[in-house]
Amino acid sequence: MAALRARGLVVQPFKCGPDFIDPGHHTRICGRASRNLDTWMVSPEVNQRTFRMHAAWANVSVVEGVMGLFDGARGTDAGSTAATARLLGLPVILVVDASGMGASAGALVNGFATFDVSVPVVGVIFNKVAGASHYELLSDACEHIPSVVPLGYLPRDSRVRIPERHLGLQTACEAAMSPETVSHLAAVVERHVQIDRLLALSTDVRAEREEAAVPHNVPIARIGVAQDRAFCFYYEDNLDELRAAGADLVPFSPLNDRDLPTGLDALYLGGGYPELYAEALSANVAMRSAITTFINRSGAVYAECGGLMYLAESIRTTDGALWPMVGQLPITVVMTDRLQRFGYVGLTFTRDCLLGAAGTTARGHSFHYSRIESCSDGLERAHQLDFIRSGTKETEGYARSGMLASYTHIHFRSNPELAKTFVREAIKTRSVKR
């Protein structure tokens, strides 16, 4: 993406699967909001429309895959990179870690190219290559695979490595890649990858050019969205769905602001890394008090994952420190050294709540390194969860008055009524607050 943009092209980024961190880096590098494509969470029609609508305004689109090419939901390839490529009719460029590999690279690439012929693997880029002679060996190993073109390589280079932590890479808002690093990365790709040949392998896709993904509706509800280094995990399409339903989205920072924006009808507290900024979040007593006052005056609040943690009584970090949070959920959250829940989640609402009536269904994903240590028995649950990867079921979705908090990141386009209900419920609370 960096190399294509350095050539002066308008690049539209996309990401397969449930991910927030990679799209953040895409957005920063391309100067255009990255969009998630997911064949498990949302319908084929939604994926096709999302891709074509945003691809129409760019010279080239790049879709980053997820996990291995064919890895999807349990027992199916739904949600996989292969399923997305097949649905959208896109060619696949395989990226192979070639460290310690020689002629065996040919067998690996051939296996991917022939495993499912409905998924066109048209090229390969090798990563972590020792040098030009190593690449020549790898390229020669692919000569007998007529459908796959060796397109070049990336040498081992510590300057383009993004630091990682428990949820994955460091985020774009933490400036994990400086402008100098991005420029260096673009130059490395330009030097070692045959970009012209890569572009020649791309496919023209019928696009739907529209002025905007969101109708220009007059806003009817004002929703504050927590956005800073601690809260930066949002599906861009969730925000679009809220705007389309009539929401005026107003960003605020639980880390840095002393008060909420004026005239809010609801709050949206997304995911992120509140545990990394627990001391600062706890120290901002003014913001914690402002949110408490907002909730006590019947303001609607939707919180997911990191947002749930922020609404808790406290967060216990891995060093044993206990940091007071907003205190509107009678729970204590404890950080752990391993994933507690991972993968796709189906939801059925068991009671009327902020996002829908009892019986409403939705889809999302779960990915967190924390657990609830203590929870009041009187706290109502609003969701029945079905974890696709493990096959387990549990109740969750902590509901209280106009508040809904869950570890699950729900994709609003999995059910078009979710955002509409959120906005309607936000409006209902307006007369109560005033």
Count H helices, E strands: the chain?
13, 24
Beta partners for 300?
A: 266
Give mean pLDDT, residues 415-421: 96
CATH 3.40.50.880 residue ranges for the chain? 221-433
Distance of alpha carbon 157 from its chain centroid, rounded?
Answer: 27
| Residues with catalytic function | 305
Beta partners for 62?
A: 13
Per-residue HEC secondary structure of 18-43 comes to CCCHHHHHHHHHHCCCCEEECCCCCC
> Is residue 44 within 8 Å of 52, Cβ to Cβ?
no
pLDDT for 213 equals: 47
pLDDT for 218 equals: 72
Q: Calculate the alpha carbon distances from 120 to 68, 98, 101, 180 in Å.
A: 15, 21, 24, 35
Label residue 150 by pLDDT band (50, 70, 90). very high
Distance (Å, whole) CA 297 – CA 308: 19
DSSP 196: H
pLDDT for 212 equals: 44
40 φ, ψ (degrees, to nearest 5): -100, -45
Give mean pLDDT, residues 419-429: 93
For the cut 60, the answer to whether the pLDDT of residue 211 exceeds it is no
Give mean pLDDT, residues 119-144: 96
Residue pLDDT, tens place only, 347-370: 999 999 999 999 999 999 988 778
Residue pLDDT, tens place only, 33-47: 999 999 999 999 999
Label residue 208 by pLDDT band (50, 70, 90). low
Average pLDDT for the chain: 91
Residue pLDDT, tens place only, 254-265: 999 999 999 999
Distance (Å, whole) CA 330 – CA 175: 35
pLDDT for 371 equals: 83
**Beta strands at 361-368 and 341-349: parallel, antiparallel or unpaired:** antiparallel
* Residue found under tokens 């993004």: 162
Give mean pLDDT, residues 262-289: 96
pLDDT for 227 equals: 96
pLDDT for 351 equals: 93
For the cut 80, the answer to whether the pLDDT of residue 90 exceeds it is yes
What class is the 2-200 domain?
alpha beta
Weakest-pLDDT range from 56-60, 71-75, 84-88, 122-126: 71-75
> Is residue 404 within 8 Å of 382, Cβ to Cβ?
yes
pLDDT for 339 equals: 64
pLDDT for 167 equals: 57
Weakest-pLDDT range from 9-18, 275-284, 423-432: 423-432
What does the block give as tokens for 72?
């999807």
What class is the 221-433 domain?
alpha beta
Residue pLDDT, tens place only, 376-398: 666 788 999 998 877 889 888 99
For the cut 80, the answer to whether the pLDDT of residue 200 exceeds it is yes
Would you list the DSSP string of 208-269? Answer: ---S-SS--PPP-EEEEEE-SSSEEE--HHHHHHHHHTTEEEEEE-TTT-SSPPTT-SEEEE
- The set of long-range contacts for 170-175, using a CB threshold of 8 Å and a minimum separation of 24, is 170/21, 171/21, 171/24, 171/25, 171/229, 171/232, 171/272, 171/273, 172/21, 172/24, 172/25, 172/27, 172/28, 172/232, 173/24, 173/228, 173/229, 173/232, 174/229
Give mean pLDDT, residues 196-217: 71
Distance (Å, whole) CA 87 – CA 27: 24
Q: What is the pTM of this model?
A: 0.89
